[in-house]
Amino acid sequence: MVTTQSSDGIEVTYERHGHGTPLVLLHGGMAPREYWQPVLAHLEDEDYAAIVPQRQGFGTCLDEVDETTADEVLAREVSYVRTLVDSLEERPVLFGHSFGALTALEAATTADVEAVVAYEPAILPEEFREEADLADRMQRLIEAGEREEAVKRYIEQVLHPDGIDDLDAWLAAWPVWPDCVALAEEVVRMNRAVEQYQLPERLDVDGPVLVLSGTGGPDFLRESARAVHDALPRSRFVEFDGVGHSGPGEAPSRLLTEVDAFLSVR
């Protein structure tokens, strides 16, 4: 693990794997950094140095993290990524999934990065955002002592919006379950941040952006991925048939083939 600290006291800890262009992997709001293991396995023979940060709230028990409000959580994440970018000797590529993709896009408006890869950024279409209540429903379950049920509501709405026959069996085979139950409060904060976030008409990202989506995930995230593509000055949009919201974990080889092609011609 490598630890660095900014002049204003933000401490960043990360793992580094391999050699080459830094590829910063930013997981979403429902997983620890181990989420990226399937991607790391496919990067072993690639010319990338995979950078996997230990994000605040995901394995770090800091008082300031526990006190972070929904209004502050995205700004906290962006500052964290900017500190990491500044600590690297080379300009990195930011590869974010879900909330990590939203963080990557926002960080890239000010951080000096080579490019961004964003898989289904956690951004809600306006009509969907106005009715969103997942954070409230999860919070009520947590307050009632039903932490696992709170996390299950997230999985049902975001990972399996079309329903799932046996959720418990699926969870038993999911590598990050039940560890992710410990992240329930942080997931609520991030969901509130997502429900409050409004996509601007233009995202001021100077570098090229690859926006990725899958036909097997929620329709509202596919819609938002296209809206993000339209809001960027330099972007490419790729949709994967049959891949869900957990695209980097489900189909790492297919995604990395597109990432390689995109970065080779940017």
pLDDT over 80 at 30, yes or no:
no
* Residues 94-122 pLDDT 10s: 999 999 999 999 999 999 999 999 999 99
Q: CA angle at residue 136 from 123 to 158, to 5 degrees?
A: 40
Nearest to 214 by CA among 179, 185, 252: 252
Sheet strands (E) in the chain: 2-5, 11-17, 21-26, 48-53, 93-97, 115-119, 209-214, 235-240
The pLDDT score that the predictor gives to residue 83 is 92
pLDDT over 90 at 261, yes or no:
yes
The pLDDT score that the predictor gives to residue 33 is 66
The pLDDT score that the predictor gives to residue 61 is 38
Token digits of residue 50: 């995979």
The pLDDT score that the predictor gives to residue 158 is 80
DSSP for residue 207: S
The pLDDT score that the predictor gives to residue 247 is 92
- Count CB neighbours of 166 within 10 A: 8
pLDDT over 80 at 67, yes or no:
no
Token digits of residue 71: 């209004």
pLDDT over 70 at 66, yes or no:
no
Token digits of residue 115: 């490019």
The pLDDT score that the predictor gives to residue 141 is 96
Residue 58's pLDDT band (cuts 50, 70, 90):
low
Nearest to 100 by CA among 176, 29, 170: 29
Cβ atoms 239, 209 nearer than 8 A:
no
Give the chain's domains with CATH numbers.
Answer: 2-124+198-265 (3.40.50.1820)
For residue 112, the Cα-to-chain-centroid distance in whole angstroms is 19
Cβ atoms 88, 183 nearer than 8 A:
no
Residue partners of 1: CB distance under 8 A and separation at least 6: 13, 14, 15, 54
Strands 48-53 and 21-26 come out as parallel
Q: Lowest mean pLDDT: which of 5-14, 64-73, 87-96, 107-116?
A: 64-73
Higher-scoring residue by pLDDT: 11, 258 = 258
Cα distance between residue 186 and residue 203, in whole Å: 26
CA atoms within 13 A of residue 196's CA, in its CB half-sphere: 15
Higher-scoring residue by pLDDT: 180, 259 = 259
Average pLDDT of the residues of the chain: 87
